[in-house]
Structure 1
Amino acid sequence: MIPCSRFRILGVIALAAMLISLPAAAAEHTVGPSGAEFSTIKDAVDWAVGGDTIRVMSGTYTDPVRIDKKLTLIGVDSGSGAPVIAPQPAASGIEIHADGCSVQGFTIMGSAGASGIRVSSDSNFIRHNTIQDNGEGITFVSSDKNSIVGNTITGNNRAGITLTASSSNTFDDNTIQDNAIGMTMDAESRSNTVSRNMFFNTQNVVSKSPSSLWSSPATYQYIYLGTTVKSRMGNYWNDYRGKDANGDGIGDIPYPTQTSVAAGEGNDPYSADDFPLMDPVTYYSTVSVDATPASGAAITASPSPVTTRIPVTARPAQTAVQSPLPTQPSTPGTSGSSGIGEGFARILQNIPLTAVVLIAIGLVLAGIGVYLFVFRSSEEVSLPESLAPVTTRAASVLKGAVDKTWGLVTRPAETVADMAEETRASPLPAATDQKNYFPRELESKYTDISFVGRGGIAWVFSAYRKTDGVRVAVKIPISFDEVTGKCFLNEIAAWETLRHQNIVEVSAVNILPVPYVEMEFVPGSLEALEKPLPVWKAVRLITGVTEGLRYAHDHGFIHRDIKPHNILLTDELVPKITDWGMSKVLAADVKKSSVAGFSLSYAAPEQVSPSEFGRTDERTDIYQLGVVFYELVTGSIPFGGESIVEVGNAILRDPPLRPSEYNPEAEAVEKIIIKCLEKDPAQRYQSAEELLAALKGYLDEDDG
């Protein structure tokens, strides 16, 4: 017969083994100002064991965080923004002393005498954080093989990123702006890779690193200004002044990065960004690793199949983190999920919530029963010291199970029932105007609806079609009176027939259940671009718009309201003409035109005084495009004034200032712009075809 004391010891071991067999490494803890497992990040870190995940809800946390075990720390916007870590000025926000940690989704600020994040370990992931107003943004000391991706590092009073004796780190797709110095590396920091970041600082880099790479080691395939390109990709530097002769978005001359080379060291082959980006990273879309890397850039006719997708745009802060960061595979001697634990976790994912709750309650009750039997009997038991770590881990898992189960049991019934809805966004924007709403009659067709803005006669919403998940724009008339209805239908009658890559495409039109138009969603506009633009870029954009106008004119339509607001831009910077509300059929009677108004600043003389300059036609669009072209290369419109009368008189009588008086580089296209702006329509380009030929002449000369 086994003695009672031994039986109890075996019972403890069995209980510990059962608990440890649970997916311990996947244990999660929550931190929040209220209703969470912990109220401070520090307490959660102290309680957690290696491999755990800690989710931190919105709020401000003033304790510095020291991570000395492998943890995944995720900030979750639970309704009032990303959680903020703001310790005392002399303390770093987060210190990482363990290998393989992940930090994502935080705003870390206020460590004016220290660092937002200080890293002295290896193989960590720092992603999608905002690190601002510290002494240094991220500091690496004897820290290797870290991955720093998608962070915004701004307003730090010594440097955005500092590396001391730190090597083989990767910095990709970060925005580093308004810091005293963007990035510093000492001579002991080697083989770091810095690519596809955006630098907007007074001094962008101070580097003594002899072997760091300032561009991607791989060749990428991407779309830039509507053209598919293959090239390695460096970084965007706000003080880069090079040119781009072939239009691939890569500067022709390197950007120097090694600004502090010791005397006698000579020129280092790694001392420059050889592939500097002409524009911020967001202008390079549909980025993928090219299957056949090339040493230089080569423009191709169409994208080749690729399997690795790499996002290029910096993501805005998410309202909720949907999945934990990837963690390093567990290795012997480190805390990690066992195969049994991972399999058990997969099984749990397929069990209904009610069953999980019942199982958890059963485990807790069984654990309590064994606890009472083993530890509350009349005979005391002394466990061997070798079992102490096992029982400590068992207690940790048991506490987590009890806390989570108790939370499920005590949560109000309506809250439990709505758990799946916790991260869903409200389908409608908060309306400030009674008419600013999305009709409920259309909610069966669309989801994730958000207000974008208003045009002349319609509200514009972004939405996703429920049938295929494609994002579209939906226009709804501002009012449903007879006059607006006629204008709305006239607009669509013209627009619906136009199919061209430089014209926003209409995909659906109906007057039932309410009048609406569905069209392709285009995220940007020419109006939002910072001006003046480089001349070569302005020419390429104007060329795209002219191609769209040529198509429309060939099909019998003129636009009559060409302006930056009505020229949308895709992520690839392909211009698309929208808002054909003023368009009219060329052969139709003028009385049948849909709208009588126009935008005065971009109006042609014949629109201001038709009795003097005649009726509008294709050349009206060319004049207006000339005004847009002028604005793109100078940052100013050609005719202005203090009143409508002054603006109108300037359009009719005054010659424009030559674009080169604003921007000397604009002299190369000055003749083209001035010819578009001739008062007499007969003196302008007579067709979009003629204007395209002139633009092509500039492009050919520029490429040469």
Structure 2
Amino acid sequence: MIPMYRILCAVLFTALALTCTCVPVIAADHVVAPSGAEFASIQEAVDWSSSGDTVRVESGTYDENVRLEKKISLIGINSGNGVPIIDPNGKGNAIQILADDCTVDGFIIQNTEMASGIRVASNNNVIRNNVLRNNGLGISLVSARKNSISGNEITQNNQYGISLESSSDNRIEQNTLQKNTVGITLDATSLANLIIRNNFLNNQNVISESPSSTWSSLLAYSYTYLGQKTESRMGNYWKDYQGRDKNGDGIGDVPYVVSVGTIQTGKSGTAQNILDEFPLMDPREYYTGVVLATSSPGLKPTVVTQTSSAATVSASPISTLTLQGTVTSSPDVQVSNTHAWPAIPFSILIVPILLVILIIVAGIWYLRKNGSKPGEGPGINPIVRATSLVKTAIGKIPSPATILSKKTAQLEGAQTSPHLSVTDQKNYFPRELENKYTEIMFVGRGGIAWVFSAVRKTDDVRVAVKIPISFDEVTGKCFLNEIAAWETLRHPNIVEVTAVNILPIPYVEMEFVPSSLEAIEKPLPVWKAVHLITGIVDGLQYAHEHGFIHRDIKPHNILLTEDLVPKITDWGMSKVLAADVKKSSIAGFSLSYAAPEQVSPAEFGRTDERTDIYQLGVVFYELVTGSLPFGGESIVEVGNAILRDPPIPPSAYNPDAAAVEKIVLKCLAKNPHDRYSSAAELMAALQGYLDEDDD
């Protein structure tokens, strides 16, 4: 007869084996850092990891190539010394994704020369919140499907910002592509891709042979644009788009031509253009509070989860990491960081329960048989002793729930970390300044800074706060030069800087002005236009007398108070006239409002005070006519019109504008010597109109 203890041991061993095989494996986290971490190499951490693991990479520069050949979440963490950088020094692709369901989030990826920053040759991956610069190609997709490319800054790449070859059903959204040779390219076998709400500011924005990819959203969004809440489908921002926006919803009135004659239709094979039917008038940062519109019939925002079996990505993916490591995308709806307990199948729980019962039975049997040991004194109640043994044993075995709880705590700790990825920082007000302000709201982006409105705690006054977009040397110099020019100007028609500091972080506080000239409906009554222009001239006269010209006067840079007092903002392009003051290093201008000397300085000379007068003449013309004086289908046509074409007289659009026509046309003279010589002279001309109007 087999002894009872042997039977019990066999049963216990079997139960333990079943427990090990039935309890699910929980994905692990690995940390990479230049020193003091589990790994010093990203690729070593990836090779060591199991499928489904997360590799968190801390601040530092990693001179290596990374290959993802299994499901891995590769997450960059700013641990205090900046976003982690992957720099292979021209030796092939920086990151190559060969497995499905991977994530790459929060890196600067640079210097691959002719190779790709990220090359994707698989499906269902998420590429987000990265900076890709100085590569051959920023992101290339080759035979890749159902990938989500979002929130990346792709700049100064030698060939293409994003390239798609034989890649279909991908979603490319909310990326900024600028200063690339070509922004994005799609071949004829790349089908049914969705490209929306991106910023394209490149030498050439797009080359597309794809007949079925879509360049504007299929559903309408609700958003706020220049202080006005509205609804529309949304396409992309194209730097070279020359259309108008008559209803002020921020969407161009005519489509942007993505490519000419790509789609063949009908039996005759007539060629049709590929269009972005809802082009954005401004970069997407000017469109705030963007959510899927719920007022339109049939538009119901839903939350779609991307798993290994499917990769349907919903509009504007704002992502939250779940316990299992999947990515949950929501249509611009902020998802709570609270993690719900996952459902644990009964088939998994039954084994530990059975094991506990067997341990109790075995303990009782053993104690009844052996009683107390010699010298132990009076026998201890066997039930009590068995209970104590069971508690000790159970306390040493981590249950599935315990493991999941620990994982939840780790993830919550990671998500509340102050070290955010690159794109998350855009809408993140620095915690170092939260002791100064409350009621903080993201407003938009200026040339080199993010802009927030906030209430100052010391006196409950709402102000605007500018935070540099990045803290590299070039941006820092531009930011400081802008403020050096700006903070010395004190005038009722110039936005006032109220505080500047570099500690605890660089920031600028200025008066908050709620609207802009760009947001008001045009044309205006002539008397109202003159009122506004007079205020702007007054501010310019003050700036000129103090040695500054603006060089970028346009409606977007003229803010309006609730009382319609115009205030000039964005002095980032200002040029110092006095020789003993440092000049701003920022270059560029807005072409539609550019003076001839800005378009062709070799022919018309250098910029001076009369440049501001010309640009103000363009604004004046637009206010009284509702149109710009010069236009065209391309940048070249607009530039040639500015240099060569006479403007159509304002009275041809609006008979009432005849009263100010001479003033407007003199401001718009091609030769600077034919314009008003100073803001004071222009003010005198405007005063003459006002005196006649009073009579």
State the TM-score, normalized to the length of structure 1: 0.52
Counterpart position of 2:671 = none
Alpha-carbon spacing, 1:46–1:224, altered in 2? closer, same or farther (3 Å): same
Counterpart position of 2:282 = 279
Alpha-carbon spacing, 1:245–1:268, altered in 2? closer, same or farther (3 Å): farther
Q: Is 1:340 matched up with 2:344?
A: yes
Cα drift, residue 257 of structure 1: 2.1
SS at match of 1:221: strand
Please say if residues 263 and 271 of structure 2, whose CA atoms lie closer than 8 Å, have aligned partners that are also in contact.
no
| More divergent stretch after superposition (156-165 vs 461-470) | 461-470
Counterpart position of 1:62 = 63
Please say if residues 72 and 103 of structure 1, whose CA atoms lie closer than 8 Å, have aligned partners that are also in contact.
yes
Cα drift, residue 323 of structure 1: 6.5
Q: Distance in 2 between matches of 1:82 and 1:39?
A: 16
RMSD: 6.6
Alpha-carbon spacing, 1:36–1:242, altered in 2? closer, same or farther (3 Å): same
Counterpart position of 2:294 = 291
Q: Distance in 1 between matches of 2:615 and 2:158?
A: 45
SS at match of 1:271: strand
Q: Which amino acid aligns with 1:575?
A: L
Cα drift, residue 683 of structure 1: 4.6
Q: Which amino acid aligns with 1:339?
A: A
Q: Distance in 2 between matches of 1:140 and 1:655?
A: 46
Counterpart position of 2:326 = 327
Cα drift, residue 212 of structure 1: 0.9
Counterpart position of 2:20 = 16
Q: Which amino acid aligns with 2:198?
A: N
Q: Is 1:224 matched up with 2:185?
A: no
Cα drift, residue 48 of structure 1: 2.5
Please say if residues 261 and 273 of structure 2, whose CA atoms lie closer than 8 Å, have aligned partners that are also in contact.
no
Alignment of 1:16-95 (within 5 A): 16=20, 20=23, 24-25=26-27, 27-87=28-88, 89-95=90-96
Alpha-carbon spacing, 1:690–1:276, altered in 2? closer, same or farther (3 Å): farther
Counterpart position of 2:237 = 236
Q: Which amino acid aligns with 1:235?
A: N
Counterpart position of 1:207 = 208
C-alpha deviations, 1:643-699, integer Å up to 9, x for none? xxxx99x99xx99998787685766566454599674967525799999x9xxxxxx
Please say if residues 225 and 574 of structure 1, whose CA atoms lie closer than 8 Å, have aligned partners that are also in contact.
no
Q: Distance in 1 between matches of 2:138 and 2:614?
A: 52
Alignment of 1:259-658 (within 5 A): 259=260, 261=262, 266=269, 271-293=274-296, 327-328=326-327, 339-340=343-344, 423=418, 446=437, 472-473=463-464, 521=512, 561=542, 575-576=559-560, 634=595
C-alpha deviations, 1:51-88, integer Å up to 9, x for none? 33221111122232222333322111112221111225
Instruction: Tell which has more relative contact order, 1 or 2 (C-alpha 8 A, sep 6+).
Output: 1
Cα drift, residue 211 of structure 1: 0.9
Q: Distance in 2 between matches of 1:420 and 1:141?
A: 32
Please say if residues 208 and 259 of structure 1, whose CA atoms lie closer than 8 Å, have aligned partners that are also in contact.
no
Cα drift, residue 152 of structure 1: 1.2
Alignment of 1:145-224 (within 5 A): 145-224=146-225
C-alpha deviations, 1:321-377, integer Å up to 9, x for none? 9978982479xxxxxx95239xx9xxxxxxxxxxxxxxxxxxxx9899899xxxxxx
SS at match of 2:43: helix
Please say if residues 515 and 560 of structure 2, whose CA atoms lie closer than 8 Å, have aligned partners that are also in contact.
no
Counterpart position of 1:684 = 686
Counterpart position of 2:259 = 258
Cα drift, residue 445 of structure 1: 5.6
Q: Which amino acid aligns with 1:49?
A: S
Q: Distance in 1 between matches of 2:19 and 2:459?
A: 50
Please say if residues 263 and 273 of structure 2, whose CA atoms lie closer than 8 Å, have aligned partners that are also in contact.
no
Counterpart position of 2:386 = none
Cα drift, residue 149 of structure 1: 1.0
Q: Distance in 1 between matches of 2:614 and 2:162?
A: 51
Q: Distance in 1 between matches of 2:511 and 2:80?
A: 30
Please say if residues 180 and 201 of structure 1, whose CA atoms lie closer than 8 Å, have aligned partners that are also in contact.
yes
Please say if residues 207 and 259 of structure 1, whose CA atoms lie closer than 8 Å, have aligned partners that are also in contact.
no
Q: Distance in 2 between matches of 1:280 and 1:306?
A: 24
Alpha-carbon spacing, 1:546–1:466, altered in 2? closer, same or farther (3 Å): same
Please say if residues 145 and 168 of structure 1, whose CA atoms lie closer than 8 Å, have aligned partners that are also in contact.
yes
Q: Distance in 1 between matches of 2:192 and 2:415?
A: 45
Higher strand share: 2
Q: Distance in 2 between matches of 1:534 and 1:369?
A: 66
Gaps of 5+ in 1: 296-303, 316-320, 331-336, 345-364, 372-393, 406-417, 426-439, 450-459, 476-490, 496-501, 508-516, 527-532, 584-598, 602-628, 638-646, 694-704
Alpha-carbon spacing, 1:324–1:12, altered in 2? closer, same or farther (3 Å): closer
Q: Which amino acid aligns with 2:20?
A: A
Q: Distance in 1 between matches of 2:301 and 2:690?
A: 37
Q: Distance in 2 between matches of 1:6 and 1:470?
A: 76
Q: Which amino acid aligns with 1:634?
A: A
Q: Distance in 2 between matches of 1:14 and 1:690?
A: 98
Cα drift, residue 213 of structure 1: 0.8
Cα drift, residue 290 of structure 1: 2.4
Please say if residues 525 and 569 of structure 1, whose CA atoms lie closer than 8 Å, have aligned partners that are also in contact.
no
SS at match of 1:44: helix
Q: Which amino acid aligns with 1:221?
A: S
Q: Distance in 2 between matches of 1:64 and 1:242?
A: 44
Q: Distance in 1 between matches of 2:645 and 2:125?
A: 49
Please say if residues 195 and 216 of structure 2, whose CA atoms lie closer than 8 Å, have aligned partners that are also in contact.
yes
Cα drift, residue 192 of structure 1: 0.8
Q: Distance in 1 between matches of 2:177 and 2:89?
A: 23
Gaps of 5+ in 2: 304-312, 330-340, 349-391, 421-431, 441-450, 467-488, 499-507, 568-574, 578-589, 599-607, 619-628, 630-641, 651-660, 668-675
Alpha-carbon spacing, 1:548–1:70, altered in 2? closer, same or farther (3 Å): farther
Q: Distance in 2 between matches of 1:112 and 1:44?
A: 25
Between the two proteins, the alignment pairs up a number of residues equal to: 488
Q: Distance in 1 between matches of 2:396 and 2:116?
A: 49
Q: Which amino acid aligns with 2:73?
A: T
Percent identity of paired positions between Structure 1 and Structure 2:
39
Alpha-carbon spacing, 1:274–1:461, altered in 2? closer, same or farther (3 Å): closer
C-alpha deviations, 1:446-472, integer Å up to 9, x for none? 4899xxxxxxxxxx9987656999974
Q: Distance in 1 between matches of 2:259 and 2:33?
A: 44
Q: Distance in 2 between matches of 1:194 and 1:368?
A: 53
Alpha-carbon spacing, 1:284–1:63, altered in 2? closer, same or farther (3 Å): same
Counterpart position of 2:112 = 111
Cα drift, residue 127 of structure 1: 0.9
Q: Distance in 1 between matches of 2:263 and 2:117?
A: 30
Please say if residues 31 and 55 of structure 2, whose CA atoms lie closer than 8 Å, have aligned partners that are also in contact.
yes
Cα drift, residue 234 of structure 1: 1.7
Please say if residues 439 and 455 of structure 2, whose CA atoms lie closer than 8 Å, have aligned partners that are also in contact.
yes
Q: Distance in 1 between matches of 2:180 and 2:682?
A: 52
Q: Distance in 1 between matches of 2:10 and 2:42?
A: 40
SS at match of 2:294: coil
C-alpha deviations, 1:269-310, integer Å up to 9, x for none? 671212222332223333332234499xxxxxxxx99999x9
Counterpart position of 1:431 = none
SS at match of 2:259: coil
| More divergent stretch after superposition (76-85 vs 226-235) | 226-235
Q: Distance in 1 between matches of 2:44 and 2:593?
A: 55
Alpha-carbon spacing, 1:126–1:631, altered in 2? closer, same or farther (3 Å): closer
